[in-house]
Amino acid sequence: MTNIKKLDGKETSVYDLTQQQSEVRQFGKDMMDLAFIEKDDIRANKLSDLGYKLSRFGDVWSVKVNDLTPEQLQLVDYAQKEINAPKNKKKLEELRKRAQEKLEKAFVDAE
């Protein structure tokens, strides 16, 4: 019994991600992108590591909210501010655009 039938007739699985889990995963990916443009190498490594862990949020053996240390929670606060900062939004958008172009090119070249 892994499927649940909702009132609207749609079936969902207990393994499907919730909206909150999807948002945390996306934030983890954004943290990894932020690490790419971070000037401080130590902070960049920490952003990348925690971002990777959060990008797996909701998996069976993934990090839980209660597992985060006070230092990691401070890093999350820092990342939220930096990701939403106007100076970084443009850089992050360009980074994502380049990554998307590379991915599309890789699939075209593979054919």
Q: Give the pLDDT confidence score for residue 5 in this predicted structure.
A: 62
For the stretch 31-63, what's the b/e string if a residue is b when 16 or more beta carbons lie within 10 angstroms of its beta carbon?
A: bbbbbeebeeeebbebbbebbebbbebbeeebb
User: pLDDT of the chain along its 111 residues, tens only?
Assistant: 566 666 666 666 666 778 888 899 999 999 999 999 999 999 999 999 999 999 988 777 788 888 899 999 999 999 999 998 888 888 888 888 988 888 888 888 766
Report pTM. 0.76
Q: Report pLDDT for 6.
A: 62
